[in-house]
A and B are shown apart, each in its own frame.
Chain A
Amino acid sequence: MNFNQDLFLTFFEKMYLIRRFEQKVYEFAERGLVFGSTHLEVGEEATAVGTLLNINKEDYLIATHRGHGQELLKGTDVKNMMAEMIGKDAGVCGGRVGSMHVADASVNNLGAQGIIGASFPISVGVGLALNLLGDKEKILISFFGDGASNQGNFYESLNMAELWKVPVFFVCVNNQYGMGTAYCSTCNIEIHKKASLFNIKSDYEDGNDVEKVYHKSKELIDYVRTKRLPALLELKTYRTIGHSAFDKHPYRTKEEIEDWKKKDPIKRIEATLTSNGVPLDTIDDIKKKVEAQIQDAADFAIKSEYPAYTDALEQ
C-alpha cells in the first residue's frame, strides 16, 4: 500500500492532541483542579482516532466514561472540553458534570453514561430513531469498554439491535481491565464473538495500530452505513496509566505495562513517519501546534468562572 503522508500526519496530530489533552487533565488533577475522578485514555488514542476519522459530523456519538479522545475527535472544541474537565461554566455542558458525561449537541455527541452498560439500550434507541426517520446516511458510533460486555443489557441490546436492524457501529475499547479486574478473569468469551452469537457482523483488530484500526473500521462503517445494519469491532489496547487519575494500578505488573508501552500507538506512528522519510521538523511543527492548542485551552479553562447556582436548576 502506498504511504499516504497526509493521512499519517493526521493520525499523528490527532493522537498527539488526545495524549497531550489527557496529560494536561492529569496535571490539573494533581493540582487539585479536577473535582472527583477522571478517566484518561493514555495509550488508547488509536482507537478513537482510527475509528472517528471515518465518521461524519452528522453521525451520532455515544462515548464512554473514558471518552475525552472520542469527544474531541467528534469535533468538540478543545477549550470547551478543557473547561468542562475542571467544572467551569464555559465547559461544553456548562461545567456541571465534568469529565465523565460530555455531550455536545453541536456535533451530535449525545453524551456519555457513567453507568457501565447504560449506553447499549440508548444506542439501540438512537438507531431505531434513524430507522423511523428513514435516514439512509447517518449512523451512530457507540463506544464501550471490555467490562461493559458483561452487563446484561449488552446481550439484550445486541438482540434488539439485530432484530430492529439498527445502523449502529459498536466499538469495544478493550483495554483488558475493568478498573482493577482483568477481563480474562470475568469472562472466557472474546467480546467480538459475543456479538456474532446474535448474527451481528463483528471483528477485532490491534487497537494500538491506528492504520489497521482506520482501515478495519472504515470497512465496518461502510457496512453499517450502506446496509443499515449493526456491526461490532473489538479493539485490543491498553491504558498505560491507572483507571482514574489517582490509581497507582497495583493490580498490573511493571513488565506488563512496559511491554505495552513498547506498543505505544504514538511511538509507532512516529516511527512509521520517519521511516517513510517525513522530516523531523514536520513532526516537531505538529507537536508545537498541538502544544499551543492545549496551552490555550488550559489558560481558557483556568480563566473561566465556576458555574453559579440558580433555582432554575431545581427539577
Chain B
Amino acid sequence: MREITYSEALREAIYQSMKSDDKVIMIGEEIGQGYAGVFGVSKGLYDEFGPKRIIDTPIAENTIMGAAIGTSLLGFKPIVEIMFSDFISVCFDGVLNQAAKVRFMTGGQYNLNLVVRLPGGEGSGTGPQHSQSLESLFMTIPGLLIANPSNAYDAKGLLATAIDAGDPVLFFEHKKLYKTKADVPQEPYKIEFGKAKTVREGSDITIVALSYMVSVALAAAAELKDKYGIDAEVIDPRTLVPLDIDKIATSVKKTSRLAVLEETYMRGGIGSEIGSIICQKYMDALDCPINKIASKNVPIPMPPSLCNEVIPDEDRVVQEIRGMF
C-alpha cells in the first residue's frame, strides 16, 4: 500500500471516474487553467482531459450550479467545485430549490448525479466568510446527500460513490485535511454511504466526530486513556445523510455516554440532531446528559488566539469529556 494525501486521493477518484465514464465532468472557478484548484485538487486534470471535461467558469456560482443541474438533467455527472464552502450561499437557491427537488418534483422522471465539492473548515486564517463548516445548515433539506470524509482513504472511496449516487451530494472537505496522508489503494473503490466507521474502540464513552474533528477526537482519546484512564470509542459517520444512527446507538448502549464533536456552529448543530435521536430512542442507555462539543456561536475569526477559543481543540475535548465522569 502507498500513502497519498487527501488532495491526491480526491484527484485520483476524479481521475479514475473520468477515465472510466465520459459523462463525468468538472465545473468551477479556477479548476483548470489559472490556479488549477485553489487547494490543488484538480491539478493536472485540465492537461489530461481538456476544456470540455474540466470547465472553467466566470465567478458566477448561481450559473455554475445551474450548469451542473442542466448538464446532469441531460445525463452528465458533473462535479462542481465551490472554491470555499462558504460561497455555496451564492447558489443556495440552486441547491435548495432546484437540485434537491428534482427527483420529487418530476415524480422520479429525472434525478441528478451531481457532486458539489465544498472545501470548508478553519485552516488558513481566512476569517468569517472563508472558514465555516456548514454541514448542519444543509442536513435539514430532503433530497440532498452529505458526505464528510475525514481522511484520504475515505475521501477517495466516498467521492467515487458520490459521483453516481443518483441524487445531489454535498461533499464537505476540510482545509486542514488536504495535506494529511493515509494508505490509499491505487485501484478504484467505493465506500457505501450511510456506513459509519469505528475509528477507535473503547468502552467508557462514545465520541461521534466528523471530518477534521475525527483526528482531534483521536488525539483527545489517547490523552484521556493515558492520563485519566477513560477509554473512548470514536465513531466517524462518514456521511451525515444518510446517517448510520444504528452504529452510533449500538456504541452508546455499550458505553452509556455520548459526546458529539463537530466544527459546525453549536446552535442547531449536528450534535443537536444526533443527540435528540439518541434521547428519543435510547434514553435508557444513557448514564449522563449528551455533550455537544462544537464551535461557539461566533463567526469564525482570523487570528489563532480567537480561533482556538471558538473551535474545539484537543484540550477542550479532554476537559469536556472528563466533565462527563
Name A residues whose Cβ lies closer than 8 Å to a Cβ of B. Answer: 60, 91-97, 101, 103-105, 110-111, 113-115, 118, 120-130, 132-133, 152-153, 156-157, 159-160, 163, 313-315
Partner of B71, one of A91, A128, A160: A128
Partner of A129, one of B64, B70, B105: B70
* CB-CB nearest in chain A for B59: A156
Contact indicator B69/A121 (Cβ below 8 Å): yes
Contact indicator A115/B97 (Cβ below 8 Å): yes
Q: How far is the CB of B26 from chain A (nearest CB, A)?
A: 12
Is B107's beta carbon under 8 Å from chain A? yes
CA–CA, A130 to B65, complex, Å?
17
Contact indicator A111/B102 (Cβ below 8 Å): yes
- Which of A110, A128, A132, A133 has most chain B Cβ within 10 Å? A128
* CB-CB nearest in chain A for B23: A132
Contact indicator A121/B71 (Cβ below 8 Å): no
CA–CA, A110 to B74, complex, Å?
9
* CB-CB nearest in chain A for B22: A132
Contacts A/B (CB < 8 Å), 18 sampled: A60-B74, A94-B107, A103-B106, A104-B109, A110-B110, A113-B97, A118-B97, A121-B70, A122-B94, A124-B70, A125-B69, A125-B71, A130-B74, A152-B62, A157-B62, A157-B66, A160-B67, A315-B103
Q: Which residues of A contact B103 (CB under 8 A)?
A: 315
Q: Which residues of A contact B62 (CB under 8 A)?
A: 121, 152-153, 156-157
Q: How far is the CB of B239 from chain A (nearest CB, A)?
A: 14
CA–CA, A159 to B63, complex, Å?
10
B94-132 CB mask vs A (1 if < 8 Å, else 0) is 100110101111111110000000000000000000000
B45-75 CB mask vs A (1 if < 8 Å, else 0) is 0000000100101101011111111111111
Partner of A94, one of B66, B98, B108: B108
Contact indicator B60/A156 (Cβ below 8 Å): yes
Also in contact, A121 and B66, with CB within 8 A (given A96-B107, A130-B74, A132-B71): yes
Contact indicator A314/B25 (Cβ below 8 Å): no
CA–CA, A123 to B64, complex, Å?
11
Contact indicator B65/A93 (Cβ below 8 Å): no
Q: Which residues of B contact A94 (CB under 8 A)?
A: 107-108
* CB-CB nearest in chain B for A105: B109
Partner of A111, one of B65, B71, B106: B106
- Which of B106, B110, B142 has most chain A Cβ within 10 Å? B106
Is B143's beta carbon under 8 Å from chain A? yes
* CB-CB nearest in chain B for A130: B74
Q: How far is the CB of B140 from chain A (nearest CB, A)?
A: 12
Q: Which residues of B contact A93 (CB under 8 A)?
A: 105-107, 109
Partner of B70, one of A104, A127, A133: A127
Q: Which residues of A contact B52 (CB under 8 A)?
A: 132
Q: How far is the CB of B27 from chain A (nearest CB, A)?
A: 8
Contact indicator B107/A126 (Cβ below 8 Å): no
* CB-CB nearest in chain B for A138: B74
Is B76's beta carbon under 8 Å from chain A? yes
14 more CB-based (< 8 A) A-B contacts, given A110-B73, A118-B93, A122-B66: A60-B74, A101-B105, A110-B110, A115-B93, A121-B69, A121-B70, A121-B94, A125-B71, A126-B73, A132-B76, A153-B63, A156-B60, A313-B104, A315-B142
Q: Which B129-154 residues sit within 8 Å CB-CB of chain A?
A: 142-144
CA–CA, A2 to B204, complex, Å?
90
Q: Which residues of B contact A313 (CB under 8 A)?
A: 104
Q: Which residues of B contact A103 (CB under 8 A)?
A: 105-107, 109-110
Q: Which residues of B contact A97 (CB under 8 A)?
A: 104-105, 107
CA–CA, A315 to B143, complex, Å?
5
Contact indicator B67/A125 (Cβ below 8 Å): yes
Contact indicator A125/B105 (Cβ below 8 Å): no
Partner of B73, one of A96, A113, A122: A122
Is B263's beta carbon under 8 Å from chain A? no
CA–CA, A113 to B68, complex, Å?
16
Contact indicator B105/A157 (Cβ below 8 Å): no
Is B167's beta carbon under 8 Å from chain A? yes
Q: Which residues of A contact B143 (CB under 8 A)?
A: 315
